[in-house]
Amino acid sequence: MNALRSLFSFPTKAVAAVLATPLALGLLSAGATAQDVAKRWGPTDPASTFGEDFQYLFWLITTLVSVSFAIVCVLLLIPVLRDRAKPGKKAHYDHGSSLHDKRFTAVVSLIVFVVLDAWVLVVAMKDLREGYWNIPAPDDEKTYKVEVLAQQWAWNFRATGADGEFGTADDILSTNTLVVPKDRPVSLNLTSKDVIHAFFLPDMRVKRDANPGAVNIAWFQPVVDGEFDILCAELCGYAHYQMHGKLQVLEKGVFDEWEQEASRLAVAAHDAEDTEAHWAWEWQE
């Protein structure tokens, strides 16, 4: 009988036990992750020409969205705090179906569309036309072209070398490390050997899928030199989380020296018999 009665009383102990579980798990995991690294609450500083536009638009949207959400919360809280049921008090009888109400709805909708959507849309279109979709001309001397062949689980890169042509002996080949010049547009051709991967340069604010069977195009222009991470952003199987590489951005003089040397070494290492290494394709625009 006591057991039955306890079913109906407020189960303080059960609730306490329920709450204690995550705390216990939390203590277990706190020890496991104690790490001595600088914490970050956002991305690293942008390192490409897209960076400023991205940051601007991101924070513009954040401002608009925060203000909208604050308005919703206030309009939610006022009736919850003010309009609780009290004895003898009746709700205001209103179907909200008058012409006045419909006009009010229409005006608010229009304001929302113009302020939230149209504003963002206009900025985004400008950014796209001037940025992501303003793909640099391939025949421009300044454009540094790279072919990217993704595979489970590595990034293969091919640059033209000194002769400016793909598929020749002096092509600079590398795996998981890509060296590019600072302040020059880097144009990418991406494809995959097996499954879909996504080439993600978080510092450059660039991401593009590498699809098997087709060549995809992307570009960016680094404005900071240094070493940055390359990540895979599309689930590609077992070691998806380990499919990362390094992007090295070099100053003009340093880069030119590196390119000449790398191209010379490439010629020396070229093996006409090794067909596996001859995967270049005709440049796609």
Q: Is 89 in the site for other proteins (CB under 8 A)?
A: yes
Q: Is 2 in the site for other proteins (CB under 8 A)?
A: no
Binds other proteins by CB under 8 A, chosen from 102, 103, 142, 252: 102
The count of chain residues that interact with other proteins, using the rule CB under 8 A, is: 110
Nearer to other proteins, 215 or 277 (CB): 215
Gap between the Cα atoms of 151 and 162, Å rounded:
26
- All residues at 6 or more sequence positions from 156 whose CB lies less than 8 Å from its CB, including other chains: 148, 149, 150, 173, 174, 175, 279
CA distances from 215 to 31, 174, 184, 189, 270 (A): 46, 19, 22, 6, 25
Q: Is 35 in the site for other proteins (CB under 8 A)?
A: yes
Nearest in space to 195 (alpha carbons), one of 230, 224, 238: 238
SS3 279: coil
Q: Is 262 in the site for other proteins (CB under 8 A)?
A: no
- Kindly state the smallest distance separating residue 237's Cβ from other proteins, in Å: 6
Cα dihedral 189, 131, 140, 164 in deg (nearest 10) = -20
Q: Is 200 in the site for other proteins (CB under 8 A)?
A: yes
Residues 141-170 that bind other proteins (CB under 8 A): 152
Nearer to other proteins, 208 or 263 (CB): 208
- Kindly state the smallest distance separating residue 276's Cβ from other proteins, in Å: 15
Nearer to other proteins, 102 or 252 (CB): 102
Binding mask 204-243 for other proteins (x = CB under 8 A): -xxxxx-xxxx-xx----------xx-xxxxxxxxxxxx-
CA pseudo-torsion sign 19, 25, 28, 30: negative
- Kindly state the smallest distance separating residue 282's Cβ from other proteins, in Å: 14
Binds other proteins by CB under 8 A, chosen from 63, 103, 113, 252: 113
Spatial contact of 145 and 157, defined as CB atoms under 8 Å apart = no
SS3 253: helix
DSSP letters for 5-26: HHHHS--HHHHHHHHHHHHHHH
- All residues at 6 or more sequence positions from 264 whose CB lies less than 8 Å from its CB, including other chains: 170
Q: Is 114 in the site for other proteins (CB under 8 A)?
A: no
Binds other proteins by CB under 8 A, chosen from 80, 99, 268, 272: 80
Tokens, residue 235: 């689930």
Q: Is 247 in the site for other proteins (CB under 8 A)?
A: no
Q: Is 75 in the site for other proteins (CB under 8 A)?
A: yes
Nearer to other proteins, 134 or 260 (CB): 134
Gap between the Cα atoms of 252 and 136, Å rounded:
18
- Kindly state the smallest distance separating residue 236's Cβ from other proteins, in Å: 6
Spatial contact of 223 and 205, defined as CB atoms under 8 Å apart = no
CA pseudo-torsion sign 215, 139, 275, 177: negative
User: Segment near other proteins (CB under 8 A), from 120-128, 158-166, 180-188, 264-272?
Assistant: 120-128
- Kindly state the smallest distance separating residue 268's Cβ from other proteins, in Å: 30
Nearer to other proteins, 11 or 164 (CB): 11
- Kindly state the smallest distance separating residue 156's Cβ from other proteins, in Å: 14
